[in-house]
Chains A and B, each alone.
Chain A
């Protein structure tokens, strides 16, 4: 089955700096890669996703890049703000299954 590795497990940045979280996946047939943000005690919320036919996608301060050859994808957050502090999860879904395999999460702390 699919295996998703996520790094780093914790990340601290100064407010205004950029943050990058990286994930690798094992199944070359995976074709959908969402990122979820989970604040303490709350539900995971989708912040951005990318499909395998696209190399990069941006939404305001958030961007995701995908390298299918290397089987890795990354989340980039620019101009970080304290409200960006949360746990971020990457996930991968195989073709036709719609099942998500999640990484173990990255706890992002943005220091004012």
Chain B
């Protein structure tokens, strides 16, 4: 079974620029998560989708971050404009849903904001 795919793997941008990350979850997984992992810390949930609907985005900085999962499969996470403190690894994870909560992570996108 193919794992969670993410792209790009690395991105360097200047502050105030915009950036987008893409995630393709494991086939058939209904639930998709975006996490932010700052160096030396555990992943922090940004947003959770169930199919194409948002379950929880309470920790998403909505003034600059947005995410969508239009067809209930792939998802994109966007930052506009980026700040220095957004430098982190952005991890996507998916789980089957329906009471099966094990989350499988993608390789992440490492973002550096200069």
Indicate whether A and B interact: yes
- Give the B-binding residues of A (Cβ under 8 A): 4, 6, 32, 34, 36, 42-46, 49, 89, 91, 93, 97-105
CA distance A6 to B104 in the complex (A): 21
Nearest-neighbor residue (CB-CB) of A49 within chain B: B102
Q: Tally B residues with Cβ within 8 Å of A.
A: 22
- Give the A-binding residues of B (Cβ under 8 A): 4, 31, 33, 40-45, 48, 56, 91, 95, 97, 101-108
Q: How far is the CB of B67 from chain A (nearest CB, A)?
A: 15
CA distance A104 to B104 in the complex (A): 19
Q: Are B91 and A44 in contact (CB under 8 A)?
A: yes
Q: Are B44 and A102 in contact (CB under 8 A)?
A: yes
Contact of B45 among A46, A99, A105 (CB under 8 A): A99
CA distance A6 to B33 in the complex (A): 22
Q: Are B104 and A46 in contact (CB under 8 A)?
A: yes
CA distance A37 to B111 in the complex (A): 21
CA distance A4 to B41 in the complex (A): 12
Contact of A43 among B40, B45, B48, B105 (CB under 8 A): B105
